[in-house]
Amino acid sequence: MRRFSAALLVASTGLLSAWTGPFQLTSDTGDDINPSVCKEWLEDTLTCMVWQTNRSGNWDIYARFCAAGPGNGWLPEHPVSTDSLEEVHPAVACRSDYSGEDWFWCCWERRETDWFGGIWASFSRGDTWDPPVRIGRSLHGAAGDSSEPSLVIIRDTTWVVWANRDTFGSYISFSYHDGYSWSQERDVVYTPHEMRHARIGRGASERGWQDPFVTWQQQGDVWFTEHRNGQWTTPVRIDSTSADDRNPEVLSQCGWQSEWSGVVWESERDGDTAVFAAHADSLEVCRRLCDSTGAGRNYRPQAAFATFSVLDWSDVLSVWVSDRNGSPDVYSRTGSAVADEAVDTDPAQDLCPMVTVIGLTQAWCCWQSDRTGNWDLYGSYQNGTGIAGPRFPTKGDRPAARTLTGRLEGDEPGWLVDMTGRKVMVLGPGWNDVSHLPAGLYSVRNPGSGPGTRVVIAK
């Protein structure tokens, strides 16, 4: 098999360069809070951020898309829902299974009475949003309590989960859209205990990479279940300790068959408040992701895969809140780094960081800050460095990443083709200098042959 690899040559300088920013992403004088971004990156050109804003006098849902390209690619904002009721805690997902079409669903909670909320959803192809539809109901307790809906799109099916309760206990509800209509709402899991912070993504290959994977916090531990053969599996605790574990997030890989997915969360297990992660195929093994010395409290982690070739922890980019400088700040870590990196250390309160990867090569961290006096959203980005591939890595045949020189294996020349199918370079056997090419997704093919092997060039 013809392969274009990048092994052996140039020592890595790390997956990602320093953060560029921050860029102010909202400027309305109302409060703009609770940002959420697509957790699975899109092969093509767009990612999305949604948030809640009270610019009309009650909470509404707004969105911005971000286009792949150098620099700040955030596009104009569009309202998703401006109903007169309070609308809170939005989340957004992209269809990321190589359909050739960009489309998105956003879901959120609309407070319909003092005790009940509706779960609403809206669809977009990348600019405006369709009229919202009601897909479920939640019962909430004290003010501020929220069902915090979460969603993922796997192939053509959109899955939404949210926290719910009744007089006997709590449960997690779900509904799915099969490409035509929304299902009845049903239960993922029910217990007499309090379950919070339900999050959905997809599992790892050995667990079924196209199966929805749900994680939540319960009784000081992080739990998960998967949707297998039409039903949810018996819930399992992730690496239980007597320390408090909370606020899990799914680390979810999109349409390429992945050997990797996982969960990140915050834990007191080391005697401080720190960020941990576990591989979804071996959830009993967890790993600390943040500094230990002088690190303050580290909480509310999010993480994403920062290249499409999922080889190791070095391809995981995590972000979280740290108060090591006295105010809540945003910090990050790539798995291959030896220390945390500051994303933003403004003296203001900086909270709710999210991370999204666009066009395979640019990672954005977005968060909310009160530095303007009326809560606004900010974002900073990093670009990847290097080449990763091929498209379907298999065990024992894993390509190296992160060099600007690629090696074409075999004796025959090949073509390097860009995303539009245009030939950009003839590759000779052996090493080829590709440093003059712009960052992006390419494929390597034999002249006259089919789709070829996908590679990423990132700078």
Residues that bind Ca ion (CB under 5 A): 28, 32, 58, 60, 83, 87, 327, 329, 346, 350, 374, 376
Q: Which residue, 3 or 324, is less far from Ca ion as judged by CB?
A: 324
Sequence-ordered list of residues with C-beta below 8 angstroms from that of 108, at least 6 positions apart, any chain: 50, 52, 61, 80, 81, 87, 88, 89, 90, 91, 119, 120, 149
- Cβ at position 374, least distance to Ca ion in Å: 4
Q: With H, G, I as helix, E, B as strand and everything else as coil, classify residue 207.
A: helix
Q: Which residue, 74 or 223, is less far from Ca ion as judged by CB?
A: 74
Cα angle, residue 337 at apex, residues 332 and 343 outer, rounded to 5°: 25
Question: Tokens standing for 57?
Answer: 């006098």
Beta 316-322 vs 329-334: how paired, if at all? antiparallel
Question: Tokens standing for 293?
Answer: 């010395």
- Cβ at position 193, least distance to Ca ion in Å: 32
Distance CA 406, CA 450 (A): 21
- Cβ at position 342, least distance to Ca ion in Å: 10
Q: Which residue, 43 or 109, is less far from Ca ion as judged by CB?
A: 109
- Cβ at position 336, least distance to Ca ion in Å: 26
Q: Which residue, 112 or 281, is less far from Ca ion as judged by CB?
A: 112
Nearest to 316 by CA among 226, 374, 249: 249
Distance CA 48, CA 56 (A): 22
Distance CA 253, CA 182 (A): 24
- Cβ at position 160, least distance to Ca ion in Å: 19
Sequence-ordered list of residues with C-beta below 8 angstroms from that of 114, at least 6 positions apart, any chain: none
- Cβ at position 440, least distance to Ca ion in Å: 34
Q: Which residue, 225 or 369, is less far from Ca ion as judged by CB?
A: 369
Q: Which residue, 27 or 449, is less far from Ca ion as judged by CB?
A: 27
The b-or-e profile of 175-196 (16+ CB within 10 A means b, else e) is bbbeeeebeebeebbbeeeebb
Distance CA 403, CA 146 (A): 45
User: 232 and 216 in contact (C-beta within 8 Å)?
Assistant: no
Beta 405-408 vs 195-202: how paired, if at all? unpaired
Measure Cα distances from 417 to 29, 45, 326, 353, 453 in Å.
47, 17, 50, 36, 10
- Cβ at position 74, least distance to Ca ion in Å: 15
- Cβ at position 230, least distance to Ca ion in Å: 36
Give DSSP secondary structure letters for 42-77: BSSSEEEEEEEE-TTSS-EEEEEEEE-SSS--BPPP
Q: Which residue, 82 or 205, is less far from Ca ion as judged by CB?
A: 82
Classify residue 8 as exposed, middle or buried by CB count within 10 Å of its CB (0-12, 13-18, 19+).
exposed
- Cβ at position 327, least distance to Ca ion in Å: 4
Q: Which residue, 20 or 58, is less far from Ca ion as judged by CB?
A: 58
- Cβ at position 32, least distance to Ca ion in Å: 4
Q: Which residue, 43 or 350, is less far from Ca ion as judged by CB?
A: 350
Q: Which residue, 183 or 372, is less far from Ca ion as judged by CB?
A: 372
Distance CA 439, CA 442 (A): 9
Q: Which residue, 60 or 102, is less far from Ca ion as judged by CB?
A: 60
- Cβ at position 323, least distance to Ca ion in Å: 8
